């Protein structure tokens, strides 16, 4: 059964998670508006596209007028870029979020759904982590001062179709398909809990339930693998035609090894689904996508 036709704005809806979230919301019967700095290549006919920047207060206010729910996914999510561009990261992730929250208060939305990260628990993550921790505290203050209801979604390691080139899983598979070798900057013991982007999108909508108002949810899925296990799985799916090299000296210190849990922010509840995409199937799907991209000359 479709939900009632409530208006949802997905800020950052042209991107990896945002586009899948917009699709899932439309499938559930919501009226979806995508707000992003670039037109979505995956926009569906029944969705509205607004091209704008979260740093422009006026554009954000116009986009949110009449919205019931707002998903805020915009900003810099690449940790590597956050290290290279700290000022841009803090402006887009913090000032941009303040503009979104102000517009939400003015529009009287029912709830703001904020895309955070499990890096808020970590000492790693550089300016990306700092920005996410700051915005989570900002949300608490906006609720105290303006009664802006929220749900914080702390995503883990997302993978799947439409992912960015810097996405870990996409990077490994691209190397495998294009070069026949995966060079991994680490020991092979680094551990992640992978969640398919479509599963993350479904859980993000389930989080609209009233019980999750002003809650913090951890969306990391059920696929806990170390990097050696993950790369071996990719190797097997590709019929062994891939060489794997571990470069311990190339390990990036801004990423965690086994667990992000170092800091103690507000407690988060882990949210999982009983039905999810198997990681082997998800990897196969991504391999096929990379083959198509390379075949079309996009790589």
Per-residue CA distances from 119 to 116, 126, 179 (Å): 8, 9, 31
Instruction: Flag whether 18 is in a domain.
Output: yes
What six digits make up the tokens of 200?
């993350």
**Residue 56 in this model has a pLDDT that exceeds 70:** yes
State which residues form the domain around 137.
7-295
Q: What is the pLDDT of residue 118?
A: 86
**Residue 1 in this model has a pLDDT that exceeds 50:** no
pLDDT (tens digit per residue) in 185-231: 888 888 888 899 999 999 999 999 999 999 999 998 777 788 899 99
Q: What is the pLDDT of residue 258?
A: 43
Domain harbouring 64, CATH code = 3.40.50.720
How many independent structural domains does the chain possess? Answer: 1
Name the β-bridge partners of 243.
Answer: 181
Instruction: Flag whether 96 is in a domain.
Output: yes
Number of neighbouring beta carbons within 10 Å of residue 12: 25
Most confident of 99-108, 158-167, 270-279: 99-108
What six digits make up the tokens of 220?
């990391």
Mean pLDDT across the chain: 89
Can you tell me the distance from the alpha carbon of 238 to that of 272, in angstroms, rounded to the nearest whole number?
29
Instruction: Flag whether 231 is in a domain.
Output: yes
Q: What is the pLDDT of residue 299?
A: 57
Can you tell me the distance from the alpha carbon of 200 to that of 273, in angstroms, rounded to the nearest whole number?
9
**Would you say how long the chain is, in residues?**
299
Q: What is the pLDDT of residue 168?
A: 86
Q: By percentage, how much of the chain surpasses pLDDT 90?
A: 68
Q: What is the pLDDT of residue 253?
A: 54
Instruction: Flag whether 49 is in a domain.
Output: yes
Instruction: Flag whether 283 is in a domain.
Output: yes
In this structure, of 42-46, 70-74, 210-214, 251-255, the range with the lowest mean pLDDT score is 251-255
Instruction: Flag whether 1 is in a domain.
Output: no
Instruction: Flag whether 2 is in a domain.
Output: no
In this structure, of 53-62, 158-167, 244-253, the range with the lowest mean pLDDT score is 244-253
Instruction: Flag whether 68 is in a domain.
Output: yes
- 0.85 exceeded by pTM: yes
Identify the residue with better confidence: 16 or 1.
16
pLDDT (tens digit per residue) in 227-286: 899 999 999 998 878 999 998 875 555 554 444 545 556 778 788 777 788 888 899 999
Q: Which residues contact 240 (CB under 8 A, 6 or more apart)?
A: none
């Amino acid at each position: 059964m479709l939900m009632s036709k409530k208006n949802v704005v997905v800020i950052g809806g042209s991107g990896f998670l945002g586009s899948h979230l917009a699709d899932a919301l439309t499938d559930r019967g919501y009226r979806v508006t995508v707000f992003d700095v670039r037109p979505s290549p995956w926009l569906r006919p029944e969705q509205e596209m607004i091209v704008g920047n979260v740093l422009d207060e006026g554009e954000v206010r116009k986009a949110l007028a009449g919205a019931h729910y707002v998903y805020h996914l915009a900003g810099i999510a690449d940790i590597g870029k956050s290290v290279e561009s700290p000022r841009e990261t803090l402006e887009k992730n913090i000032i941009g979020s303040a503009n979104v929250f102000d517009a939400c208060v003015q529009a009287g939305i029912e709830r703001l759904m904020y895309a955070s990260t499990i890096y808020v628990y970590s000492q790693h993550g550089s300016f990306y982590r700092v920005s996410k921790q700051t915005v989570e505290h900002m949300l608490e203050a906006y609720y105290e001062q303006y009664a802006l209801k929220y749900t914080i979604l702390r995503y883990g390691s997302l993978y799947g179709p439409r992912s960015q080139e810097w996405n870990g899983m996409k990077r490994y598979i691209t190397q495998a398909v294009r070069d026949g070798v995966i060079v991994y900057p680490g020991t092979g013991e680094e551990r992640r809990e992978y969640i398919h982007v479509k599963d993350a999108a479904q859980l993000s909508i389930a989080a609209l339930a009233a019980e999750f108002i002003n809650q913090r949810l951890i969306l990391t899925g059920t696929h806990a693998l170390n990097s050696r296990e993950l790369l071996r799985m990719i190797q097997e799916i590709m019929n062994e035609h891939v060489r794997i090299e571990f470069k311990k000296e190339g390990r990036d210190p801004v990423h965690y090894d086994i667990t992000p849990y170092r800091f103690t922010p507000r407690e988060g509840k882990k949210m999982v689904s009983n039905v999810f995409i198997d990681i082997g199937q998800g990897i196969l799907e991504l391999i096929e996508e990379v083959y198509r991209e390379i075949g079309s000359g996009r790589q």
